[in-house]
Amino acid sequence: MFVINFILVIVSVLVAVLYFTMFERKLMSYIQLRKGPNKVGFLGLFTPLADALKLLFKSMGLVLNSNELFFYISPVFSVIFLFLVWSLFPFLSSNNLFWYGFILFMCISSVNVYCILGSGWGSNSKYCLLGAVRGLAQVVSYEILFVFISFFPLCFQGTYFLFSFIQINYFYGLWLFPLFFLWVVSCIAETNRSPFDFSEGESELVSGFNTEYGAMEFACLFLGEYGQIIFISCLGIVLYYPFNYVLVNLFLGLILAISFIWFRSTFPRFRYDLLMELAWCFGLIFVLVFFFYLFGDVI
């Protein structure tokens, strides 16, 4: 039964990523007062399928003097890690296999940064390597903030079992809303999205760590990035504002994922020093003060 559920999750994630990318292009086009993709099929609904077929049939190239092993396996592992974290999402009670699901998610999320580092270093390109180093420093900085923010709902629930959040259905209201806002900011930095897209800064690094990629390697990196955005948005709803119905959590998670598109279309790119200052000098201090405010009597 678990294998069938896992296959259904994989197919659902692939379809969701395909049409989320189309929705992003469509929404950004309306924000920029243009039509966007509307030629392939009715209202452009087949555009994601056409893009996927184009990437599937393109020939895979190899950069001269690149490290072939890291160049090829890094995008593949980004997709593998994506499917692993989606297997932890509390769809059904059969996820009882993962009593420490959130701890396992944090482990997979921490290892995922090596895909960025392997892609940039294996490409043997200065632009790719600079993008990978930027992404590594950014993810490591906000990973600490991410863990501290996640500590609060886990303490209130008293468990690492994600399905219990839906079963207990504890609504925090405005108590943890400042932390939920910081969660969204740290998620944007974790996924290297605008305005924190320093690992892919087009105006500075061409396309960052994925400059030399094309065909299916680029599709794997693309799938890993957007699949992680959808997952981390749905996980934020489950942790902070869960409902008894899985579809409601997924719907609210998609709404939160749409906010990533809105941020990309609205805000200019942050300065790198301000990004690090936001994590270490503001975010971490605020979370620690909030922690002692809530749990000071217990300590």
State the chain's mean pLDDT as an integer: 81
Read off the pLDDT band of 155 (50, 70, 90): confident
What local confidence, expressed as pLDDT, does residue 205 receive?
Answer: 66
Task: Give the separation between CA 219 and CA 82, rounded to whole angstroms.
Answer: 13
Q: Is the pLDDT of residue 115 over 70?
A: yes
Confidence of residue 21 (pLDDT cuts 50, 70, 90): confident
Query: In the structure, what pLDDT confidence band is assigned to residue 49 with cuts at 50, 70 and 90?
Result: confident
Q: In this predicted structure, what is the pLDDT of residue 296?
A: 67
**pLDDT category, 159, cuts 50, 70, 90?**
confident
Instruction: Tell me which residue of 185, 176, 171, 157 sits closest to 291, measured CA to CA.
Output: 176
Q: Which residues contact 100 (CB under 8 A, 6 or more apart)?
A: 160, 161
- Burial group, residue 151, by CB count within 10 angstroms (0-12, 13-18, 19+): middle
DSSP state of 80: H
Return the higher-pLDDT residue of 61 and 221. 221
Residue 208 has pLDDT above 80, yes or no: no
Tell me how far apart the alpha carbons of residues 90 and 100 are, in angstroms, rounded to a whole number: 12
Q: What is the pLDDT of residue 183?
A: 87
Name the more confident of 94 and 105.
105
pLDDT, greater one: 84 or 2: 84
Q: Give the pLDDT confidence score for residue 75 in this predicted structure.
A: 85
The CA radius of gyration of the chain, in Å to the nearest whole number, is 19
Percent of the chain with pLDDT over 90: 1
Residue spans per domain, the chain: 64-295
Q: What is the pTM of this model?
A: 0.88
CA gap 261, 45 in Å, rounded? 19
